[in-house]
Amino acid sequence: MQRRDFLKGAAALAALPFVPKALAASATANSEHSISALQKLTKATTVQQLVRDEVFWSYVRGFYQLPEKVIQLENGNWGVMSTPVLEEYVQQTQRVNQLSSYYSRREFYGELKPIVTDVAQRLGCGADEIAFARGASEALNNLISGYRHLGKGDAVMYADVDYDSMQAAMRQRGVNVVKINLPEQANANDYVSVYRDALRAHPQVKLLLLTHLSHRHGLVLPIKEIVAMAREFGVDCIVDAAHSWGQMDFDLADLGADFVGFNLHKWMGAPIGCGVMYIKRERLVDIAPALGDGLAFDPNKEIGKTYHRIHTGTFNYAAWLTIPKALAFHDAIGAELKAARLRYLRDYWVSRVRDLPHLSIVADTPTGGYATITSLRYREQTSVDANKALAKRLLEQHNIFSVHRTGLAQGACVRITPSTFTLTSELDTLITALSR
């Protein structure tokens, strides 16, 4: 963090009425302890006090280096690292580059082990049940391609809300494919019923792809209930949680799934190239070792470890070594507060444009099945070109960066994705732009 940015943030912190003067002073004194000061602040106050406090979130914003002329409302591609995390990443990159293979062959895996253990504990599973990947896509591709129980006459199922490359991976399994379309406006029970009816109509389905939080429009599905229902049909589920961990506050018990892919570089604040593959211990035998892993051709037919189900080759050591700093910053804000703030930001702008006659909020579920990602479109403007034009207008006329999304059965849309550094004043600009 540049000194002027830090001092600006520290001054904002000192202005908070409920912040003890000692905390404000410690934050101002030394930027190296800024994560510590942030954590002391969040632990000394309540989520209810902080979630709406723009002075506090201005202080949080000071932890990030952001573009000056653009309102960044497209934070779904990957997450901006906070400055403490970025600095750690640079240091780890320099260290790995200097020590080279002398480090990677002798010391790296010893340092990686406690990082894996920490991530596993946060997810609520054993360290032996996860393996690091370069992202959720890599993890999910290996889960889908390695699933062992598909044969002639079987089928896989996915929905329009699922990520394109995951849909492609399901198709590439060489069995029958069932694609369903989910309603954009429904409650949790309705979504369970949609999947139940689809499985009942297609008894040949053996594998179901589910997305916890859709990248297209932010719909959050009742994963635990759908997974439990699918088991009644003898169907296994692979869950795409690329966008949900860090955007929402949950663990694996809340999903109830045996196979899950996560990202750490979207909403947990780690460098690009950090993901997690989870396989429930008792289900390890059901996922084949990865293509290129020697265990795949082991004459002893050993089950092996979870990491045998993904073969990345040489990866970015520095990115994985930076994960602890990213988790420390995540902890300093707090998972509950972070999730609450992200939902608050979504509700802030949606509540102010929902009733505009020319606008439609996609997946505006009445039971709150959302986090911060939300999409919109002009009514009856469902073409790709129309939504590209809307995103272009927001950028060129209002300096708001968003992104159009395609793939939903009911048409294209424009995705709005705030982050922890987003201020309501920026969303006011969005509201004004959409109101015209």
Condensed to tens digits (0 to 9), the pLDDT of residues 278-310 reads: 999 999 999 999 987 766 656 556 678 999 999
Beta strand ranges found along 3-143 (DSSP E): 71-72, 130-133
Identify the DSSP state of 264. S
**Per-residue confidence band for 11, with pLDDT thresholds at 50, 70 and 90:** low
What is residue 298's predicted lDDT score, i.e. its pLDDT?
62
Helix (H) or strand (E) holding 261: strand 259-263
Q: Above pLDDT 90, what percent of the chain? A: 85
What is residue 304's predicted lDDT score, i.e. its pLDDT?
83
Mean pLDDT of 327-349: 98
What is residue 365's predicted lDDT score, i.e. its pLDDT?
77
Average pLDDT, the chain: 92
Report the alpha-carbon distance of residue 126 to residue 287 in Å, rounded.
17
What is residue 369's predicted lDDT score, i.e. its pLDDT?
86
Q: Is pLDDT of 12 > 80?
A: no
Mean pLDDT of 210-227: 98
What is residue 184's predicted lDDT score, i.e. its pLDDT?
92
Q: Flag the least confident range among 47-56, 230-239, 304-313, 334-343.
A: 304-313
The CATH number of 338-435 is which of 2.40.30.40, 3.90.1150.10, 1.20.1300.10, 3.40.50.920? Answer: 3.90.1150.10
Of 243, 238, 237, 204, nearest to 220 by C-alpha is 243
Q: Is pLDDT of 17 > 60?
A: no
CB 318 within 8 A of CB 326: no
What is residue 266's predicted lDDT score, i.e. its pLDDT?
98
What is residue 292's predicted lDDT score, i.e. its pLDDT?
76
Q: Is pLDDT of 16 > 70?
A: no
What is residue 34's predicted lDDT score, i.e. its pLDDT?
83
Mean pLDDT of 315-342: 98
Residue ranges matching CATH 3.40.640.10 in the chain: 89-325
Mean pLDDT of 11-23: 48
The residues near 416 (Cβ < 8 Å, ≥ 6 apart) are 73, 349, 373, 374, 375, 376, 402, 430
Q: Is pLDDT of 14 > 80?
A: no
Q: Tokens 């092996």 label which residue?
A: 304
Mean pLDDT of 234-238: 99
Q: Is pLDDT of 26 > 90?
A: no
Condensed to tens digits (0 to 9), the pLDDT of residues 142-190 reads: 999 999 999 999 999 999 999 999 999 999 999 999 999 999 989 999 9
**Per-residue confidence band for 32, with pLDDT thresholds at 50, 70 and 90:** very low
**Per-residue confidence band for 260, with pLDDT thresholds at 50, 70 and 90:** very high
Fold for the domain defined by 89-325: Aspartate Aminotransferase; domain 2 (3.40.640)
Q: Which residue has the higher pLDDT, 369 or 235?
A: 235
- Judge if pTM exceeds 0.85: yes
Structure tokens, 241: 């949680």
The residues near 160 (Cβ < 8 Å, ≥ 6 apart) are 179, 180, 181, 182, 407, 408, 409
Q: Which residue has the higher pLDDT, 157 or 16?
A: 157
Q: Above pLDDT 70, what percent of the chain? A: 90
What is residue 20's predicted lDDT score, i.e. its pLDDT?
43
What is residue 349's predicted lDDT score, i.e. its pLDDT?
98
Mean pLDDT of 49-68: 95
Mean pLDDT of 47-68: 95
CB 60 within 8 A of CB 50: no
Condensed to tens digits (0 to 9), the pLDDT of residues 382-402 reads: 999 999 999 999 999 999 999
Residue ranges matching CATH 3.90.1150.10 in the chain: 338-435
Report the alpha-carbon distance of residue 139 to residue 162 in Å, rounded.
15
